[in-house]
Amino acid sequence: MKILVIALNLILLWPTMGLCDLVPGQGNTVRNTFVALGADLTINYTGITLENCTIVGTATINESITAKNCIFFGDITLDGAKTITATNCCFMQSKAAIGSVTDTDCLFETDPLLVDDTGDEATDYMLTSSSPCVDAGTYLSTVTIDYFGDNRPTEYADETDIGADERRKPGVIACSIVN
């Protein structure tokens, strides 16, 4: 069982026997976090917000959550009385298969086209150039960098990527100054 748990601001994912169980009292927002294949993100507490997370493993969601710019690659098991309020998220499953989802500009039944969705390293879960998640997120003032430290776009609302990786655009050239 391999687990990759990274919380940018030192919070919340708690690996125990393959489970990432969100812990109350340590903040309620998880940003730029990968949950690896083989891990299960379990949410048992209210008031949790996920921002720019890439959930490659499964998700067991027992309380209503808010998710923005997140990838849900693994299957979601959502408590039938709870709701996912999702903005600019990418789901592998259909909306009907997940259950109660209140969505704004989300992608359903959409493969995020990660570099290697069978891998277990953070770099495996980066976005490929053809990923539908590139520039498909919404601007969040709270997320200024990605997991790898790359800057998130701040000038244009439509350039933020979905997930924990902001893809570096090709064609950025080095500048030489010669005098």
Q: Please give the residue ranges that form the binding site for Ca ion (CB under 5 A).
A: 135, 146, 148, 150, 159, 161, 165-166
**In the complex, what is the shortest distance from the CB of residue 99 to Ca ion, in angstroms, rounded to a whole number?**
30
Residue whose token pair is 């709270």: 142
Taking the least distance from each CB to Ca ion, the nearer of 72 and 125 is: 125
Taking the least distance from each CB to Ca ion, the nearer of 40 and 165 is: 165
Taking the least distance from each CB to Ca ion, the nearer of 26 and 168 is: 168
Cα 72–chain centre separation = 7
**In the complex, what is the shortest distance from the CB of residue 20 to Ca ion, in angstroms, rounded to a whole number?**
22
Query: Which residues are CB-neighbours of 124 under 8 A, at least 6 positions away?
Result: 114, 115, 116, 117, 118
**In the complex, what is the shortest distance from the CB of residue 83 to Ca ion, in angstroms, rounded to a whole number?**
28
Q: Do residues 140 and 146 lie in contact, with contact meaning Cβ atoms separated by under 8 Å?
A: no
Q: How many CA atoms does the CB half-sphere of 21 hold within 13 Å?
A: 7
Taking the least distance from each CB to Ca ion, the nearer of 54 and 66 is: 54
> How many angstroms separate the Cα of 118 from the Cα of each of 56, 123, 124?
9, 12, 8
**In the complex, what is the shortest distance from the CB of residue 164 to Ca ion, in angstroms, rounded to a whole number?**
9
Which residue has the CB atom at the shortest distance from Ca ion?
A: 150
